[in-house]
Structure 1
Amino acid sequence: MTISASPAPVATRADAAAPIRVATIGAGRIGSNHTALIARHVPGAVVAAVADPVDGAAARLAETVGAGFATTDIDDVLGSPDVDAVLITAPARSHSELVCRAAQAGKHVFCEKPMAVTLDEADRAIAAADAAGVVLQVGFNRRFAPGFAAARRAVDDGRVGTPQLLRSLTRDPGPWQADPARVPQWTIFLETLIHDFDTLCFLNPGARPVRVHAFADALVRPDAKTSGHLDTAVVTITFDNGAIATAEANFSALYGYDVRGEVFGSNGMATAGDGRTTDMTFYGAAGVEIDTARADTVLLHSAYVGELTAFVDAVRTGGAAVVGGADARTALQIALAAIRSVQTGATVEIDEVQ
């Protein structure tokens, strides 16, 4: 794939107050969630179109949200003068190519994580967006979750002091019932822990990751390990300011969706994340109970709304994305270093991953 030297002009409209017209590419689970949020919860935006190559998928989602049209041909969306921006929620391995195509067509881009699965792909996506002058935002939603945003403010305000120890974890809700054969290799690093890698960088601003050591196994489905499946991992990351961070993930937390973060520093500590759906605690004969979230779309609803609202605002004002291509590249580089560490059993210097 090559990047055009003369990208299409960025979509503009005579009425600057008109809503941003957004098209979704990929009508699966997360695409359906994001599209519904745009339609119902993001001010100043409308869903203009939905595209998905699976017959009927786009039409069903478009009908649900009242989109203008649905198509199985992505070029129908990219070539439409009635689309200002796209949400890329297709399978991860197609993200970089779609970012490049959308940017060349002059569309602003919100891309779900990971933006790419190789550094070369990431660089091409960033270059395409820069050449076209479009907004490129990547879906690292935890930055927009109230608790994580407050933890970052505690760092920025100096209340935490110099970060020394950090932790981020993702435990997907169980029981995990997916077919391991249908899970792309290295998913735990490229699609799950990629969130944690970005979170750790977010909570340690200005610092650069320098080395990584990772451990991974198939503990949820030990029978699938021989095929390369991994569902449990722990990664340690050292930053150039001396901070040491830990990221961990597992595909099957029976008690619900568990996402947490922590930054400990010279002046104090900030933590974020709670699996509760409400602050109610029930005390009964069987013991103490709390209700926990069983899906990311429930636990992180406000974060998803926040990131999509920030994207639409950036498109409208011409501002920079809150979390952009460079942030996605850094998280990907950590993920690739972790994969190499698992393959070799050695600590990997980030600069070795090029």
Structure 2
Amino acid sequence: MTSAPSVATATTPHRPNAPVRIATIGAGRIGSSHTALVARHVYGAIVTAVADPVDGAAARLADAVDAPFATTDIDEVLVSPEVDAVLITAPARSHSDLVCRAAAAGKHVFCEKPMAVTLDEADRAIAAAEAAGVVLQVGFNRRFAPGFAAARRAVDDGRVGTPQLLRSLTRDPGPWEVDPVRVPQWTIFLETLIHDFDTLCFLNPGARPVSVHAFADALIRPDAKASGHLDTAVVTITFDNGAIATAEASFSALYGYDVRGEVFGSKGMATAGDGRTTDMTFYGAAGVEIDTARRDTDLLHDAYVGELSAFADAVRTGSTAVVSGHDARTALQIALAAIRSIETGATVSIAEIA
């Protein structure tokens, strides 16, 4: 490990023909995965630093990807002239503050979802990036999964016709063994279904959400419901083009990680998503078997590479992020409406979530 990069008040403009120099902030599970993908699979980008306040975490990840610098002090990467952009993969409740700090330092930002957990936070993050003139991309990976991208093309080229019914679901692999006390309240909406809310908007381009009604319970851990824990949910969303959508989530699918989407329209239907790890089906004495993914980083490997590559391209070319802060704000608005619906038992107008 080399010494810290020299310090500057802000990064210099990116060099068009040079690789984008990226620092990871947050060396946990998804941060480690994203960092390895940048190092090994993203053309035109390199990892130059890793920051994490947990002692030793940044150093371990930096060593794994041959990054030259690791630190427990996030400010050291934010002021470094050797860093063009940051990957924010720290805990969700810190995202908006880190986006603002990175933008103020002149760094382009890839932020894992959710970008924020309140609309005020989202607005501050968007404003900070716009004021600094930096790229801000949010990690809604399903837009980059081949099947979901193809479904969107079927909408764009008119094959689906006018979208009428949409569906998106996320079922995390089971058995679910996490202590519910360690799961922040409303995680199922703010960190799980937030993907599905963005997917439904993605598959219904140009339409805006109008109303939300949510149902949720603790069906996997009923004993934890009294403390506010929710592990199973269904959300209904109406859009201003008349389409009706449902989003569904569970924290425990015993058969593997399950992510699917569907858009049904006046001319046809497109579906996306499959838990298979290969297209092999085994037929034996015990029945029919397929191999399924147990981790999102396996099932959505190509999608993660795609979103990180799109971010690097946007930084290198000065183009607009494919998934913007405004996209993240819309998904958050739906999530907050779902939370209010659970609290009130009523349908909530998006207009109420200012």
Match of residue 334 from structure 1: 334
The alignment of Structure 1 onto Structure 2 pairs a total of residues equal to 346
Q: Is the 8 A contact 2:89 2:111 kept in 1?
A: yes
- What is the CA–CA distance in structure 1 between the aligned matches of 2:140 and 2:345, rounded to whole Å? 28
Match of residue 4 from structure 2: none
- What is the CA–CA distance in structure 1 between the aligned matches of 2:12 and 2:135, rounded to whole Å? 12
- What is the CA–CA distance in structure 2 between the aligned matches of 1:68 and 1:116, rounded to whole Å? 30
- What is the CA–CA distance in structure 2 between the aligned matches of 1:105 and 1:157, rounded to whole Å? 41
- What is the CA–CA distance in structure 1 between the aligned matches of 2:170 and 2:221, rounded to whole Å? 17
Structure 1 residue 18: Cα displacement:
1.3
Q: 1:110 to 1:136 in 2, by over 3 A?
A: same
Question: Structure 2 unaligned runs (5+)?
Answer: 1-8
Match of residue 99 from structure 2: 99
Spell out the pairing of 1:195-214 with structure 2 (5 A cutoff).
Answer: 195-214=195-214
| 1:147-205: CA deviation from partner (whole Å, max 9, x where unpaired) | 00000000000000000000000000000000100000000000000000000000000
Q: Is the 8 A contact 1:25 1:87 kept in 2?
A: yes
| 1:316-352: CA deviation from partner (whole Å, max 9, x where unpaired) | 0000000010000000000000000000000000010
SS at match of 1:213: strand
SS at match of 1:34: helix
Match of residue 42 from structure 1: 42
Structure 1 residue 11: Cα displacement:
3.0
Match of residue 4 from structure 1: none
| 1:195-234: CA deviation from partner (whole Å, max 9, x where unpaired) | 0000000000000000000000000000000000000000
Match of residue 13 from structure 2: 12
Poorly superposed stretches of 4+, deviation over 6 Å: none
Match of residue 270 from structure 1: 270
| 1:296-326: CA deviation from partner (whole Å, max 9, x where unpaired) | 0000000000000000000000000000100
| 1:19-63: CA deviation from partner (whole Å, max 9, x where unpaired) | 110000000000000000000000111000000000000000000
Over the residues paired in the alignment, what is the CA RMSD in angstroms?
A: 0.7
Spell out the pairing of 1:97-176 with structure 2 (5 A cutoff).
Answer: 97-176=97-176
| 1:232-259: CA deviation from partner (whole Å, max 9, x where unpaired) | 0000000000000000000000000000
Q: Is the 8 A contact 2:11 2:79 kept in 1?
A: no
- What is the CA–CA distance in structure 2 between the aligned matches of 1:351 and 1:334, rounded to whole Å? 10
Spell out the pairing of 1:1-354 with structure 2 (5 A cutoff).
Answer: 11-13=12-14, 15-354=15-354
Structure 1 residue 64: Cα displacement:
0.2
Structure 1 residue 9: Cα displacement:
5.3
SS at match of 1:332: helix
Match of residue 5 from structure 1: none
- What is the CA–CA distance in structure 2 between the aligned matches of 1:234 and 1:97, rounded to whole Å? 30
- What is the CA–CA distance in structure 2 between the aligned matches of 1:315 and 1:185, rounded to whole Å? 35
Counterpart of 1:304, as a letter, is: Y
Q: Is the 8 A contact 1:235 1:338 kept in 2?
A: yes
TM-score, structure 1 length as denominator?
A: 0.97
Question: Structure 1 unaligned runs (5+)?
Answer: 1-7
Q: Is the 8 A contact 1:110 1:311 kept in 2?
A: yes
Q: Is the 8 A contact 1:281 1:288 kept in 2?
A: yes
Structure 1 residue 10: Cα displacement:
5.2
SS at match of 2:164: strand
Q: Is the 8 A contact 2:11 2:81 kept in 1?
A: no
Counterpart of 2:263, as a letter, is: V
Percent same amino acid at aligned positions? 86
- What is the CA–CA distance in structure 2 between the aligned matches of 1:224 and 1:106, rounded to whole Å? 44
Q: Is the 8 A contact 2:10 2:79 kept in 1?
A: no
